[in-house]
Chain A
Amino acid sequence: MDDMSKQKAEVPYGTLDLLLLKSLETMGRMHGYALARRIEQVCGDSMQLSQGSVYPALIRLQQEGWIETDWGISETNRKVKFYSLTTSGRKQLLVELANWERATALVARFLEASS
């Protein structure tokens, strides 16, 4: 396991929230497993994500009031928690997106100027 983490990039710090919110916006109501799979698929093999790490992030977003949960039935016929975006979550997504764009633009400008 140690070896693998050296080859693949970890999810950049602070972006997991953004990925989760964005996924929920695009896909609507989802459970944890689906969210983890979605992020894995979109990012492809370039990203190292332990699927379990979405859960600590999800509880944080939920406590902030950006997402809400309800119980539903999974594909395997099991009771499972579904997550969906709240109104304040949508607003937060916009804030995070703006932040992200500002940050990447800044870094891009900096790299251009430095090259």
Chain B
Amino acid sequence: MTVRRALARLLALAQKGSLERDLEAEVQAHLEMAEHDALAAGLSPEEARRAARRQFGGIEQVKEQHRESRSPIRLENLLRDFRYGLNGLARDPSLSAIVVGVLALGIGANVAMFSLVDAVLLKPLPFPDPERIVRVWEAPRPGVTNSTTTPDFLDWRRLGTSFEALSAEVPVSVTLTGQGEPTRLGGKAVTADYFRVFATTPLLGRTFTQNEDRPGADATVVLSHATWQAYFGAAPDILARRIILDGQAHQIIGVLPPGPFDRDDAAFWKSLIFTPDQYLRESHWLGVHGRIRKGVSLEQAREQMISIRSSMIEVNPFWKKDWTIVVEPLGRLLVGDNLQRSIFVAFGAVFLVLLITCANVANLLLARGAARSKEMAVRAALGASRGRLVAQLLTESLVLCLLGGAAGLAVGSLLIQAATPYLAQSIPYTASIGLDHRVFAFAAAVALGVAVVVSALPALQTSAGSLGRSLNLASRGSSGSHHRLRRFIVTVEVALSVVLVCGALLLFRSLSKLQQLDTGIKIENVITMSLSLPARDYPTADRAAAFYQGLAERVKAIPGVLESGLSTHLPLRWISNGEAVEIAGIQQPVNVRFKRVDPGYFRALGIPLLAGRDITERDRLGARRVMVINQALASRLAEVGGMKNPVGQSVGLYSPRYIAKGTVTEDVEIAGVIRSERVAGPGSPDPAVVYVPLAQVPTQEIKLIVRTQADPSSLVPGLRDAVRELDRNLPLGDVATMQEVRERTLSGARRPAWLIGAFALIAALLTAIGLYGVLSQAVTQQRREIGIRLALGAQPRDVVSQVLRNALTLVLAGLALGTLGAIALTRVMKSLLFEVSPLDPVAFTVALGCMTAVGLLAGFVPASRAAHVDPVTTLRDEG
């Protein structure tokens, strides 16, 4: 087509009215002239008129052809069909509302899910050139990564020319004073290059300069935007202020821009200045981030680090031979495997809901298509091509789906708002969930996709059916092929729902197993909180030990307190690796988790002693070093060291020192064995744990655990006072009941269960609507037949049972299909299930039972309607 014609066609669109009038006039003139000639040839007026028309051919067809050749007919039709579509929707508002509502649910759930997937998995990290940001680890074994030591980090930084910047960090926890109540703040001590790694420029002021991590530098901090807002009311003169952290004044030098760092655990960043005792080759304490130089590949950087390791091996006796260095892209690290899997399973579930939505909407439109087949047949007879009819149906569905998509966006954004607070904890701090152009594009794509899927079936059906037959069927309702297709769609819906309901039930079964999980401790009426002793006020182990003893005495004196204990780690919370015991005569030390507790700990949590003795008040600093071990370690010692009865035996124990880094190995006597308490969430076996008297190896970070007579939260003010009496500047942090701690540990498993449960419910609901629609239409169509049967003496009971049988046939076929689908699909959930097989018979049976019940319920209303068919009225109406 020439450009000229294309333009003319577009122009024709605008001149449609006048072109149409011209055409009409032209055709009329033509007919008149033809008639005139025919009269002149001697035909009668009537014959002349007929001859003129015959010679002309189909007038409406010619007009349609004229329209098609003069203007971009598809575009014109689209506009017209869009109008038809709107008219059609307005004619049947209740159906339209149902379709849009169903679509809004289905699309909305998908939009919400997509924005999560997008934020967590698809979007690049919100830093410049994020692919160049990596984490660098030591790797003692394949798949295990470890923090590194100061000298190693310095070697890496000196020799690692592949990196533009390499920075080390450690989390710190400080007490902020001078801003009202003393507050605990989490932050990070970082080397000066830290913000160069993330290529972050501050909103206000500056970040660290090269010399700020050298000894003697001024104490400076950079604040996150959120901290600046929350603690300093976004004061504009913030850079002129100093803040007191652990009693030491720090100059505020910069505020970061709002964004990813606000959701990091850290509220502030201060310089990490290495003290001489931190240069130990055996103290693995630093996390390392790096930014790879432009033009250097990840592989090259990795190779360089490995060669650095090889060259350092003689200098560094602490490096074991098979240790290596791992360089991993940051993006991959932020999303754990389990989170990724949960997200995929949830996305799969929400996609099934979308399929069911499609099926349901297709079903509703089919029902409408059936009612409209006569309209279609008439239009076809008047010259509309089959393509036009399909296009019209497509555009109608498109209008519906676009409305549904818009409503879906609204539903999606509500869902996101509702879910974000619950999700915030488990998604990486760099991800921000929300509606952006990518989510809009996704919603549009889904709406279009649904429109195509949803309209393809009814459209083919409506326009393919023989036109003549549709016209002839006028008094009998629609043809049977509609019905077959609709039944098939409902069967598929039932099948998809079975898959979802099965998945949800498996997760709930797993959840109930988790609820019964034996934690090994008493949880009721226990409250916990954390304390951190600043090094400045508690420079020695003696001071710390004295504080803990004083605290224990004061807390026990508070009315309502039954027991109280102190520990470095809460029960049910992970204890990090790193310490080990050495057994005389055994080469390989046994790895253990190291937990410091005071004499009250086991009593406060009701952990029973199995052998030997408890930790007592007499186990103080300077006394004979003792420890209590858990059952898991006892059996490990029996296995590795042949220690049948560990109580009374002595082993070498690596123990961290007070404040200073590094560990010392000391001879420690095993005083007793306790029953294992659960250390982490489900799925991991009990690790070997040593319990060391807190008084013998004091530390700065401590948890207070208090068991009370009644509701423990009422005692929090009393506990605060007790702490304040000992140290005015010491804040209590992380107040949580043991119940809450337990929830937190288990919540990873709980979230997908509720999510998929909700999807399954939506799916079952949609399926019920679909089933109801089909059965109810079947009853309407068979009204005449039912009427005759009733008139011939059939019992209403028979009619009801026939309709219900009909429902059951549909459901049973769906159940069979769904069971196969569920067997295939629930396997991907294996890692999310706790002590439940993906083929759990209980879940499958209940799912099948549920869907059968849904089927019968959906069939019941049409069935009872059928039973109340009045033979006389029916036969008269239709006869």
Task: Give me the interface of A with B, judged by CB distance under 8 Å.
Answer: 31-33, 36-37, 50-53, 55-57, 59-60, 62-65, 74-76, 78-81
List 25 A-B residue pairs with CB atoms under 8 Å apart, sorted by A's residue number. A32-B30, A33-B33, A50-B56, A50-B57, A51-B56, A52-B27, A52-B57, A55-B62, A55-B66, A56-B69, A59-B66, A59-B70, A60-B5, A60-B70, A63-B5, A63-B9, A63-B12, A63-B70, A75-B36, A76-B36, A78-B28, A78-B29, A78-B32, A80-B29, A81-B26
| Complex interface: chain A residues within 8 A of B34 (CB) | 33, 51
Answer whether residue B4 sits at the interface, using C-beta atoms and an 8 A cutoff: yes
Least CB separation from A60: chain B residue = B69
- Select which of A50, A64, A75, A78 is within 8 A of B62 by beta carbon: A50
Answer whether residue B215 sits at the interface, using C-beta atoms and an 8 A cutoff: no
Least CB separation from B66: chain A residue = A56
- Select which of A37, A57, A65, A79 is within 8 A of B29 by beta carbon: A79
How many angstroms between the C-alpha atoms of A64 and B3 in the bound complex? 9
| Complex interface: chain A residues within 8 A of B25 (CB) | 79-81
Mark out the residues of chain B between 42 and 59 whose CB falls within 8 Å of any chain A CB in the assembled complex.
Answer: 55-59
How many angstroms between the C-alpha atoms of A4 and B218 in the bound complex? 104
Interface string of B1-23 (1 = CB under 8 A from A): 01011001100100000000011
Whether the pair B55, A63 counts as a contact (CB closer than 8 A) is no
> Nearest chain A CB to B61's CB is how many angstroms away?
8
How many angstroms between the C-alpha atoms of A59 and B26 in the bound complex? 12
| Complex interface: chain A residues within 8 A of B70 (CB) | 56, 59-60, 63
How many angstroms between the C-alpha atoms of A93 and B323 in the bound complex? 85
- Select which of B4, B12, B23, B32 is within 8 A of A55 by beta carbon: B23
Answer whether residue B65 sits at the interface, using C-beta atoms and an 8 A cutoff: yes
Answer whether residue B68 sits at the interface, using C-beta atoms and an 8 A cutoff: yes
| Complex interface: chain A residues within 8 A of B57 (CB) | 50-53
> Nearest chain A CB to B3's CB is how many angstroms away?
11
| Complex interface: chain A residues within 8 A of B12 (CB) | 63
How many angstroms between the C-alpha atoms of A60 and B32 in the bound complex? 24
Whether the pair B33, A75 counts as a contact (CB closer than 8 A) is yes
Least CB separation from B33: chain A residue = A33
- Select which of B5, B26, B32, B62 is within 8 A of A53 by beta carbon: B62
> Nearest chain B CB to A101's CB is how many angstroms away?
23
Whether the pair A74, B33 counts as a contact (CB closer than 8 A) is yes
How many angstroms between the C-alpha atoms of A74 and B25 in the bound complex? 12
Whether the pair B68, A76 counts as a contact (CB closer than 8 A) is no
* Known contacts A32-B26, A59-B69; A64/B2 CB under 8 A: yes
| Complex interface: chain A residues within 8 A of B8 (CB) | 62-65
How many angstroms between the C-alpha atoms of A32 and B62 in the bound complex? 13
Least CB separation from A34: chain B residue = B33
Whether the pair A55, B29 counts as a contact (CB closer than 8 A) is no
Whether the pair A55, B36 counts as a contact (CB closer than 8 A) is no
Whether the pair A80, B5 counts as a contact (CB closer than 8 A) is no
> Nearest chain A CB to B24's CB is how many angstroms away?
11
* Known contacts A51-B34, A64-B2, A81-B22; A74/B68 CB under 8 A: no
| Complex interface: chain A residues within 8 A of B27 (CB) | 52, 55
Whether the pair A36, B62 counts as a contact (CB closer than 8 A) is no
Q: Which 10 A-B pairs have the closest CB atoms?
A: A50-B57, A52-B62, A63-B8, A56-B65, A80-B29, A52-B57, A33-B33, A59-B70, A52-B56, A33-B30
| Complex interface: chain B residues within 8 A of A81 (CB) | 22, 25-26, 29
Which of A36, A63, A80 has the most CB atoms of chain B within a 10 A radius of its CB? A63
How many angstroms between the C-alpha atoms of A21 and B763 in the bound complex? 64
* Known contacts A33-B30, A55-B66, A79-B25; A64/B5 CB under 8 A: yes
How many angstroms between the C-alpha atoms of A54 and B37 in the bound complex? 18
- Select which of B4, B36, B66 is within 8 A of A65 by beta carbon: B4
How many angstroms between the C-alpha atoms of A32 and B27 in the bound complex? 9
Least CB separation from A65: chain B residue = B4
* Known contacts A55-B26, A81-B22; A74/B32 CB under 8 A: yes
How many angstroms between the C-alpha atoms of A41 and B5 in the bound complex? 30
* Known contacts A63-B12, A63-B70; A56/B32 CB under 8 A: no
How many angstroms between the C-alpha atoms of A64 and B65 in the bound complex? 17
Least CB separation from B70: chain A residue = A59
Given contacts A52-B27, A63-B70, 14 further A-B contacts (CB under 8 A): A31-B29, A32-B26, A33-B29, A33-B33, A33-B34, A51-B30, A56-B62, A60-B69, A63-B4, A74-B29, A79-B29, A80-B26, A81-B22, A81-B25
| Complex interface: chain B residues within 8 A of A63 (CB) | 4-5, 8-9, 12, 70
> Nearest chain B CB to A80's CB is how many angstroms away?
4
- Select which of A32, A51, A55, A57 is within 8 A of B55 by beta carbon: A51
> Nearest chain A CB to B65's CB is how many angstroms away?
4
* Known contacts A55-B23, A63-B5, A64-B2; A76/B29 CB under 8 A: yes
> Nearest chain A CB to B473's CB is how many angstroms away?
24
How many angstroms between the C-alpha atoms of A32 and B59 in the bound complex? 14
> Nearest chain B CB to A29's CB is how many angstroms away?
15
How many angstroms between the C-alpha atoms of A75 and B8 in the bound complex? 30
> Nearest chain B CB to A8's CB is how many angstroms away?
13
- Select which of A36, A51, A57, A76 is within 8 A of B32 by beta carbon: A76
* Known contacts A32-B26, A50-B56, A64-B5; A76/B66 CB under 8 A: no
| Complex interface: chain B residues within 8 A of A62 (CB) | 8
Which of B5, B26, B30, B68 has the most CB atoms of chain A within a 10 A radius of its CB? B30
Interface string of B389-409 (1 = CB under 8 A from A): 000000000000000000000
- Select which of A57, A59, A76, A79 is within 8 A of B33 by beta carbon: A76
> Nearest chain A CB to B55's CB is how many angstroms away?
5
How many angstroms between the C-alpha atoms of A65 and B11 in the bound complex? 14
How many angstroms between the C-alpha atoms of A50 and B55 in the bound complex? 6
Whether the pair B30, A53 counts as a contact (CB closer than 8 A) is no
Least CB separation from A59: chain B residue = B70
| Complex interface: chain B residues within 8 A of A31 (CB) | 29
Which of B4, B23, B69 has the most CB atoms of chain A within a 10 A radius of its CB? B69
Least CB separation from B2: chain A residue = A64
Whether the pair B59, A52 counts as a contact (CB closer than 8 A) is yes
Least CB separation from A48: chain B residue = B57
